[in-house]
Structure 1
Amino acid sequence: MPLPEGFCPGRVVIVRPRGLGDVVLSSAVIDALTRAWPDARLDFITERASRELLEPDARLDGIFLLDGEDRDARIRGGGLRSAVSWVRERSPDLLLDLFSNPRTAWLTAMSGVPFRVGLDKRVRRFAYNVRVPRFHGPPEEDHRWARDVQLDFLRNAGIRWAGEAKASVALTPEDAAFAERVLPDLGYAPGTSFATVLPGGSWESKRWSVEGFAAAGRAAAECLGAPTLVCWGPPEREDAEAIASRLGDAGRLAPPSRLREMAALLARSALTVSTDCLGRHFAVVQGVPTVGIFGTTDPRDWTPPDGPHRTVRGGPEEGYPSLRDFPADAVVAAVRDLLAEVDSGRAPL
């Protein structure tokens, strides 16, 4: 049963507690809801790690951080029971549980919100009075981009909006200033076209080799005539330093950065080469062409169906013990091919 025809809520709560990349893509949900109900106030329940991504988003009236300790006017934190109390205090008309796991289903059931939307999954379906399917057709054949999965969640609930709902990264002027300051310090003149490589991956099965990234970075530097910038987060520092060392004059190592500062650097690049990680989502939603390197995850689930993106896959299904064993040849070819297409105007931007 979809939402009633003509339904127009005064306040909506979005629940998406984990997966930084998924939280980035859920910004399209925020955009869609803003388009559907411009006067509605939007709240977001997530986990502490996502605070940096959501805090600058002026479209959000309130944010609750599960297991957080925040107590300011706009951002609160606490356990599940505190989250339920926070939702009840705010008296929303609609709650959207994008995650729909047992924990968020319990939160939803206890919230007292009149309309509660969630996935139609076994016992937890009873937490929701508007239930939507997880898959379109057989699960093994459903390979919608993860952003579109979230937007279809809204459509299946009966929510409609005008125009294209887009994912984005909420950057502050300080984030942009970081990039503007760092790039000249690294030797990039204004207007220089350069590539970035990012050796991210929250799971070992998503990690590629230092040698592979160095080869891809060198190919990009040759095509663009500028050193490749090696970006990184704290877990990737050792790999990033090794890649930059192998690149020599063909590379530059980015300084330590916060998540949004990294996104600001990636936004200024002509191409990002990355595994299936948060940084690639940053690049994709900011319109940066990408070459994605995948192991056990399916690239179709994490890549827009159109746009300037190439993917290669080198996991066990392709005959490699792990993604780290995948050679660089296919990635280097994809880098050269995509940069040639973008330069000629043949790749859709």
Structure 2
Amino acid sequence: MEGEHDAVRRNVLVWRVGGVGDTVLLIPVLRALRRHFPRSHIVAVGNLEPLSLAVPPADEVRSAEEALWATLFSRPSDELRDYLKNFELAVVYTEDEVLIRNLEGIVGRVVCWPPLPGDETHEAEHLLEALKMLGIKEEDPTPRIEAYEDVELEGTVLAVHPGSGSPEKNWPPDRFAELILWAEELGISPLLICGPADEVAVEAVVDALGRRVPVAKGLPLRKVAGLLARCSAFVGNDSGIAHIAAAVGTPTVVIFGPTEPKVWGPRGENVQVIRASTGRTEDVHLLEVREVLKLVLPA
């Protein structure tokens, strides 16, 4: 059966709209499709910048915000129909009935699957479940990012990401400041990671320190991934950046709050999740984070 698939070249569309972490967790799906259909042209549609981290295994990425897709949610335009007729297969993670119905009327075969699990199945495994409808069983749900800019860093560097998509997910800034001071005493250089929504959290850490430290700010995600790949370790909150750190293979320590790590924990070769029994980040103790970091930092 696999040999038959290898001989067929087909265009495959994958639709998944989500944040940075959601998109990183889609990479195993794209990798499985690439392995099963090695001669195919795979187009992933969703949040464009994080999707740039998925080339390869995808061949092409497109933003779901493009004007081309607007009529997919109503009556498909001739332009959209002409484009979609090029695809023999679409794997779509949505429950939008209009979108699904329109695709089914144009694309050869459509596999639709809910974007979120209904239980405590990890999101990466949940997304892969859709491929069983194609006879594809992928046993490795670990995302691996191959597409990033190579960056040079000197010495032992600890990447610190004090932000997230929600203040309630953030560990207190004074704890991050104390952690940075501890790392510096060990000869480890801190590097604060600041995304578009992280400025307040980063400045709070700087204020708690009482001085400036190096900050990587406003960088495209491919460069952020390159920086994280060169760091000796990463520590941060439950965020898309933590998923990137894990997926480039950097030893990663993630502090979780209200979100369930069984579903949303980053997957990687060396990932440690810390969560208080209360589900509140402020109840995660500094000593615990330090002890876990000792386990992942190079000797």
TM-score, normalisation: structure 2: 0.81
Q: Quick one: which amino acid aligns to residue 66 of structure 2?
A: G
Contact 1:12–1:42 at 8 Å: present in 2 too?
yes
Residue number among 275, 278, 288 corresponding to 1:318 in the alignment: 278
Q: Quick one: which amino acid aligns to residue 15 of structure 1?
A: W
* Identical columns (%): 24
Aligned residue pairs, count: 293
Q: Quick one: which amino acid aligns to residue 109 of structure 2?
A: F
Aligned to 1:14: 14
Aligned to 1:297: 259
Q: Quick one: which amino acid aligns to residue 144 of structure 2?
A: S
Equivalent positions of 1:121-136 (< 5 A) are: none
Distance 1:98 1:281 in 2: 20
Aligned to 1:64: 62
- Structure 1 vs Structure 2 CA RMSD: 3.4
Q: Cα distance, 1:156 vs. partner?
A: 4.8
> Does the C-alpha gap of structure 1 residues 77 and 305 become closer, same or farther in structure 2, counting only changes over 3 Å?
closer
> Does the C-alpha gap of structure 1 residues 258 and 305 become closer, same or farther in structure 2, counting only changes over 3 Å?
closer
Distance 1:20 1:85 in 2: 29
Q: Cα distance, 1:328 vs. partner?
A: 5.0
Aligned to 1:339: 294
Aligned to 1:230: 192
Q: Cα distance, 1:298 vs. partner?
A: 0.6
Contact 1:219–1:332 at 8 Å: present in 2 too?
no
Equivalent positions of 1:207-286 (< 5 A) are: 207-223=170-186, 225-247=187-209, 251-286=213-248
Residue number among 104, 107, 111 corresponding to 1:113 in the alignment: 107
**Where in structure 2 are there 5+ consecutive unaligned residues?**
none
Residue number among 42, 50, 53 corresponding to 2:51 in the alignment: 53
Q: Cα distance, 1:204 vs. partner?
A: 3.1
- Residues 1:147 and 2:124 aligned together: yes
Query: Which deviations, in whole Å up to 9, do the C-alpha atoms of 1:316-345 show, x marking residues without a partner?
Result: x7175xx4xx1452x54233234235546x
Q: Quick one: which amino acid aligns to residue 96 of structure 1?
A: V
Contact 1:215–1:328 at 8 Å: present in 2 too?
no
> Does the C-alpha gap of structure 1 residues 101 and 274 become closer, same or farther in structure 2, counting only changes over 3 Å?
farther
Q: Quick one: which amino acid aligns to residue 89 of structure 2?
A: L
Query: Which deviations, in whole Å up to 9, do the C-alpha atoms of 1:171-203 show, x marking residues without a partner?
Result: 35xx32xx32xx4xxxxxx3x122111122222
Contact 1:244–1:252 at 8 Å: present in 2 too?
no
- Residues 1:167 and 2:162 aligned together: no
Distance 1:318 1:155 in 2: 37
Contact 2:25–2:143 at 8 Å: present in 1 too?
yes
